């Protein structure tokens, strides 16, 4: 082992990005759904339907408001150390209302909106260097607000459709600077924050009172970051064009089934996610620097895999309360073998959840206070590196290359060399108050 | 290794709140934003948060507006793009005994961008208050309480900064080849400014109101660093650092009144003081620090303060209500006028901020379809058009600073808006 590797180990703790995750996609929207391990595409019948299945907005239509908060903590390993969550607290707000019309369309058109808000920021976009240990599923996906407006229409007595938007903003633009007529720098900046909106569409079919089925499609969502910095100093270019896709969520397809008994509701969701289209979390750079010239910065090509998930939830009404529980399992999009420069940390995930709801009346209005706890177990993995043997074309994903062939031994600064262990637990919990207005 | 710092002066963007520019809902636009003393429900969230508690039912306002900019500099199109966007308002009232409470939210979503940060060189004439005035998101959550003929509300106007925690490009030799890797960490931290409003009805014929809004801006801080370690060729750093204050929205204090000489007639007035002088220098900068093996060719420059003036704007409006049963509902006809001086001082020095005194007039109409028939609750439909004239101005530069320099500016802005208020 060379000197550089020793330095890499010493800086591992500092370089490991704290774990973060998408609040709604990973931990759920409202305590009622989170307590069922985020299952319920077919059973959802409140304002949280804008995410789980927009068509569910029109199930049991009512004017209602849901306000809640969510907290999470992690125990995720990065080698011998642990990553913590940097945005562990979020606030959730969801509302739906039937349009105030009578006649044949009464209670058949419902609008809704759901928000997940962070205490101190709108969003944080992270694209790590390729060798940085990084929990992909938790990366920067917790660190953004979520805005989901939606609309549902009851087409017939047993068929409903709905559509919602997943809305946020990106950051693109340019900075141009060069010597002006007065020898001062003439600079021009045009940075834009474009609206990013992607669709969530749902279809619900209830052939009999006791059974309901749902199909949901969530469009791929990502936040683009691109800045083109073009500067000229003493005739020398300093050009840095950076671009990245952050906050990525792939195209998702969900089939949901629900059974409704007198006191018990059971939900089952099957999900397929197109992670194989993911370009990766890394920054792409085109550059020209003084004396250096152009430098390639093509990030490694990671063969991400499509994922499968199954989620099941139960909701039982007893002794004047609601009791809930759920289990979910999802495969990992990250390849288990990462012999080269990348250190993407992930593994198959098991989710266990429990919760309860207490209905009551206050000020003449019906309310319900829901609480939940959720445990996510990320299965342990061991990343083992392979050294490039000089044969064939070098592939940075397939092996590590000696960074200084003139020094004795194998020289690398990769923090995953020779091995890196990952896996652990994430615990979340929350409260939601539902008010029928 | 030598280092060099270069400072470039750029012009900041300064603008009134986009909802002040385009109006929050067509009823407000039709009276040139002079409804502060009479606004209730979702439409009141922006104009006067106290009015949210005066809503009778939960309601949603949905509106869309378009501004056509005909602004010129030196008799050429100034390149100020047309602005258009969607307004969304929400008010949820509830009562506990004699007290009436309300929570509300106002959103303005520009169609093209949530925000656009456009900075031009200081010496280049440009409309400092219009270039991006209506091109930013506005988010205003509020809460209010009312008791009898008095109401008070408070909330925040929320915006975000854009800040790079890390934006690094490392260049080195790996296996004898030049290789680069990059690292990006951008944060959009929240910024807020307080909103406070009060409303009082001393008699059935009079209503008065007052509002306060704090100062707000979108600050951009991007540091792009290139670390170069190519032994035998060059070793060092190059840093491109951008700092700018955008969408500077000044602190504003407003008082307003409404007089109802008849049951079907309302006359409104509104006076607002805007503290533009707090803009400070108003000049962001771009710095290039080069610590590579090249000669320092340039030096930094300093930039003059903006020296903007505080201003007082005046607005007035009138609304006439009539029941035209033949046209299906209760109609409201509206008109308004406003005078808005410019906070920009004479641009005789290095800066070339184009601006001018504005006068504005508007007309509008609305109809309320009452509950019954196919409606379970009343629905309002409103529309308005307005015209603003930006006074023509010819600036001659100080001969000692910019010999022979001069520019002219002025133009017109035409605005149209439609909105509906739905109650649940």
pLDDT of residue A181: 52
- Torsion-angle region of A266 (φ positive above 0: left; ψ -120 to 50: alpha; else: beta): beta
Residues of B within 8 A of A124 (CB-CB) are 165, 185-188
Whether the CB of A321 is below 8 Å from some CB of chain B: the reply is: no
Tell me which of A184 and A372 has the higher pLDDT: A372
Q: Tell me if B175 and A394 make a contact (CB, 8 A cut-off).
A: yes
CB pairs under 8 A between A and B: 245
Owner of token pair 């050294």:
A387
Say yes or no to pLDDT of A10 above 60.
no
At B67-104, the pLDDT tens digits run 998 999 998 998 888 888 889 999 999 888 889 999 99
Whether the CB of A179 is below 8 Å from some CB of chain B: the reply is: yes
At A305-347, the pLDDT tens digits run 999 999 999 999 999 999 999 999 999 999 999 999 999 999 9
Instruction: Quote the minimal CA–CA distance from B259 to chain A in Å.
Output: 32
- Cα–Cα dist A24/A72, whole Å: 12
Weakest-pLDDT range from A16-20, A178-182, B409-413:
A16-20
Q: What's the mean pLDDT in A54-72?
A: 93
Say yes or no to pLDDT of A8 above 60.
no
pLDDT of residue B293: 60
Q: Residue B319 is encoded by which pair of tokens?
A: 């609304």
Tell me which of A234 and B160 has the higher pLDDT: B160
pLDDT category of residue B411 using cuts at 50, 70 and 90: very high
Residues of A within 8 A of B186 (CB-CB) are 124-126, 171, 225, 246
At A73-97, the pLDDT tens digits run 999 999 888 887 778 899 999 999 9
C-alpha triplet A49, B138, B95: angle, nearest 5°: 60
Query: Which residue(s) pair with A350 in the sheet?
Result: A329, A377
Q: Tell me if A129 and B183 make a contact (CB, 8 A cut-off).
A: yes
Nearest-by-Cβ selection for A187 from B8, B374, B422: B8
ipTM: 0.75
Q: Tell me if B96 and A177 make a contact (CB, 8 A cut-off).
A: no
Instruction: Name the residue among B22, B63, B53, B44 with its Cα closest to residue B381.
Output: B63
At A25-41, the pLDDT tens digits run 889 999 999 999 999 99
Instruction: Name the residue among B139, B31, B155, B32 with its Cα closest to residue B86.
Output: B139
Whether the CB of A291 is below 8 Å from some CB of chain B: the reply is: yes
Task: Give the rounded distance of the alpha carbon of B279 from its chain centre.
Answer: 15
Whether the CB of A122 is below 8 Å from some CB of chain B: the reply is: yes
Residues of A within 8 A of B7 (CB-CB) are 185
At B361-382, the pLDDT tens digits run 999 999 998 888 788 889 999 9
Residues of A within 8 A of B301 (CB-CB) are 184-185
Residues of A within 8 A of B222 (CB-CB) are 175, 227
Weakest-pLDDT range from A8-17, A181-190, B55-64, B362-371:
A8-17
At B230-284, the pLDDT tens digits run 776 677 777 777 777 888 889 999 999 999 999 999 999 999 999 999 886 655 5
Report the Cα–Cα distance between both ends of chain A, in Å, rounded: 67
Weakest-pLDDT range from A142-151, A281-290, B135-144:
A281-290
Entry field: residues in chain A: 437
pLDDT of residue B229: 77
Q: What's the mean pLDDT in A255-278?
A: 96
Q: Tell me if A190 and B58 make a contact (CB, 8 A cut-off).
A: no
- Cα–Cα dist A184/A169, whole Å: 34
Say yes or no to pLDDT of A7 above 90.
no
Shortest CA distance from A98: residue in chain B: B424
pLDDT category of residue A190 using cuts at 50, 70 and 90: confident
Owner of token pair 């506990």:
B96
pLDDT of residue A180: 58
Whether the CB of A300 is below 8 Å from some CB of chain B: the reply is: no
Instruction: Name the residue among B329, B333, B326, B344 with its Cα closest to residue B390.
Output: B344
Nearest-by-Cβ selection for B186 from A111, A125, A177: A125
At B163-180, the pLDDT tens digits run 888 878 787 766 666 677
Q: Residue B311 is encoded by which pair of tokens?
A: 């201003």
> In this structure, what DSSP letter does residue A60 have?
S
pLDDT of residue B42: 95
Residues of B within 8 A of A63 (CB-CB) are 58, 424
SS3 A54: helix
Q: What's the mean pLDDT in B118-142?
A: 78
| Residue A328: Cβ-neighbour burial (10 angstroms; 0-12, 13-18, 19+) | buried
Q: What's the mean pLDDT in A140-154?
A: 86
Weakest-pLDDT range from A197-211, A275-289, B35-49:
A275-289
For an interface test with A, give the residue of B112, B235, B286, B302 to mutate (most A CBs within 10 A).
B286
Q: Checking DSSP bridges between strand B216-230 and strand B162-174, what pairing results, if any?
A: parallel
Whether the CB of A407 is below 8 Å from some CB of chain B: the reply is: no
Q: Tell me if A186 and B292 make a contact (CB, 8 A cut-off).
A: no
pLDDT of residue A302: 92
C-alpha triplet B370, B373, B379: angle, nearest 5°: 30
- Cα–Cα dist A139/A122, whole Å: 16
pLDDT of residue A104: 86
Residues of B within 8 A of A189 (CB-CB) are 10, 117-119, 242, 244, 286
Q: What's the mean pLDDT in A359-385?
A: 94
Q: What's the mean pLDDT in B321-333?
A: 84
Say yes or no to pLDDT of B301 above 70.
no
Q: Which pTM was predicted?
A: 0.83
pLDDT of residue A16: 37
pLDDT of residue A297: 63
Q: Residue A374 is encoded by which pair of tokens?
A: 């959720």
Nearest-by-Cβ selection for B169 from A180, A184, A287: A287
Q: Tell me if B230 and A292 make a contact (CB, 8 A cut-off).
A: yes
């Amino acid at each position: 082992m060379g000197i550089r590797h020793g330095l890499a180990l010493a800086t591992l703790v500092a370089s490991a990005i704290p774990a973060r995750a998408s609040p709604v996609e990973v931990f759920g929207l409202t305590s009622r759904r989170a307590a069922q391990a985020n299952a319920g595409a077919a059973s959802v019948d409140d304002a949280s339907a804008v995410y789980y299945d927009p068509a569910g907005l029109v199930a049991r239509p009512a004017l209602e408001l849901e306000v809640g908060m969510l907290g999470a903590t992690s125990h995720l390993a990065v080698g011998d150390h642990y990553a913590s969550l940097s945005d562990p607290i979020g606030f959730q707000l969801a509302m739906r209302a039937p349009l105030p019309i009578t006649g044949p369309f009464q209670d058949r058109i419902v609008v809704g909106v759901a928000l997940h808000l962070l205490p101190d920021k709108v969003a944080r976009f992270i694209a790590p260097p390729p060798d940085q240990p990084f929990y992909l599923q938790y990366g920067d996906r917790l660190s953004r607000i979520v805005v989901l407006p939606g609309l549902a229409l009851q087409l017939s007595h047993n068929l409903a459709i709905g559509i919602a938007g997943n809305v946020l903003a990106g950051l693109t633009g340019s900075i141009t600077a060069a010597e002006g007529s007065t020898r001062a720098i003439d600079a021009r900046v045009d940075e834009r924050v474009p609206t990013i909106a992607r669709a969530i569409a749902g279809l619900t079919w209830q052939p009999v009172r006791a059974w309901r089925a749902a199909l949901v499609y969530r469009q791929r969502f990502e936040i683009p970051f691109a800045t083109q910095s073009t500067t000229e100093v003493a005739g020398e270019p300093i050009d840095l064009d950076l671009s990245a896709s952050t906050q990525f969520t792939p195209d998702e397809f969900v089939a949901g089934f629900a059974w409704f008994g007198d006191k018990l509701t059971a939900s089952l969701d099957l999900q397929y996610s197109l992670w194989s289209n993911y370009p990766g979390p890394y920054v792409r750079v085109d550059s020209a620097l003084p004396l250096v010239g152009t430098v390639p910065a093509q990030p490694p090509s990671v063969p991400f895999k499509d994922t499968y998930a199954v989620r099941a939830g139960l909701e039982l009404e007893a002794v004047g309360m609601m009791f809930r529980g759920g289990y979910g399992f999802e495969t990992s999009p990250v390849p288990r073998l990462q012999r080269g420069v990348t250190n993407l940390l992930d593994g198959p995930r098991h989710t266990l959840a429990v919760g309860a709801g207490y209905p009551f009346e206050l000020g003449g209005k019906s309310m319900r206070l829901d609480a939940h706890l959720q445990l996510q177990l990320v299965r342990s993995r061991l990343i083992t590196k392979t050294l490039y043997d000089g044969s064939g074309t070098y592939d940075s994903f397939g092996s590590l290359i000696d960074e200084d062939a003139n020094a004795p031994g194998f020289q690398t600064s990769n923090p995953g060399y020779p091995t890196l262990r990952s896996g652990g637990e994430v615990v979340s919990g929350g409260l939601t108050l539902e008010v029928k207005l | 290794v030598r280092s060099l710092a270069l400072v470039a002066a750029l012009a900041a963007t300064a603008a009134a709140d986009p909802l002040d520019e385009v109006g929050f809902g067509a009823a407000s636009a039709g009276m040139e934003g002079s409804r502060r003393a009479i606004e209730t429900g979702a439409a009141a969230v922006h104009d006067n948060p106290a009015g949210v508690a005066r809503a009778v039912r939960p309601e949603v306002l949905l509106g869309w507006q378009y501004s056509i900019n005909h602004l010129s500099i030196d008799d050429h199109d100034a390149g100020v793009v047309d602005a258009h966007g969607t307004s969304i308002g929400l008010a949820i009232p509830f009562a506990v005994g004699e007290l009436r409470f309300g929570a509300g939210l106002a959103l303005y979503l520009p169609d093209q961008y949530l925000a656009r940060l456009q900075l031009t060189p200081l010496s280049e004439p440009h409309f400092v208050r219009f270039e991006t005035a209506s091109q930013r998101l506005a988010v205003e959550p509020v809460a209010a309480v009312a008791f009898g003929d008095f109401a008070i509300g408070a909330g925040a106007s929320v915006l975000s900064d854009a800040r790079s925690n890390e934006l690094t490009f490392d260049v080195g030799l790996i296996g004898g080849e030049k290789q680069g890797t990059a690292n990006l960490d951008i944060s959009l931290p929240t910024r807020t400014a307080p909103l406070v409003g009060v409303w009082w009805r001393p008699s059935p014929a009079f209503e008065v109101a007052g509002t306060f809004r704090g100062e707000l801006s979108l600050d951009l801080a991007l540091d792009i660093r290139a670390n170069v370690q190519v032994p035998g060729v060059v070793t060092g750093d190059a840093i491109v650092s951008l700092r700018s204050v955008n969408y500077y929205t000044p602190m504003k204090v407003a008082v307003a009144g409404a007089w109802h000489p008849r049951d079907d007639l309302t006359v409104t007035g509104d006076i607002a003081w805007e503290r533009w002088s707090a803009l400070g220098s108003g000049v962001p900068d771009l710095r290039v620090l080069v610590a590579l093996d090249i000669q320092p060719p340039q030096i930094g420059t300093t930039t003059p303060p903006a020296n903007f003036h505080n201003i007082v704007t005046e607005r007035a409006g009138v609304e006439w209500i009539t029941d035209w049963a033949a046209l299906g509902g209760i109609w409201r006809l509206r008109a308004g006028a406003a005078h808005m001086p410019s906070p920009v001082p004479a641009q005789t020095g290095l800066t070339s901020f184009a601006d001018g005194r504005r006068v504005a007039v508007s007309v509008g109409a609305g109809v309320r379809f009452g509950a019954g028939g196919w409606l379970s609750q009343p629905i309002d439909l409103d529309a308005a058009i307005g015209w603003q004239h930006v006074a023509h101005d010819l600036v001659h530069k100080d001969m000692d600073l910019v010999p022979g320099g001069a520019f002219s500016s002025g133009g017109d802005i035409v605005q149209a808006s439609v909105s509906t208020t739905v109650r649940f």
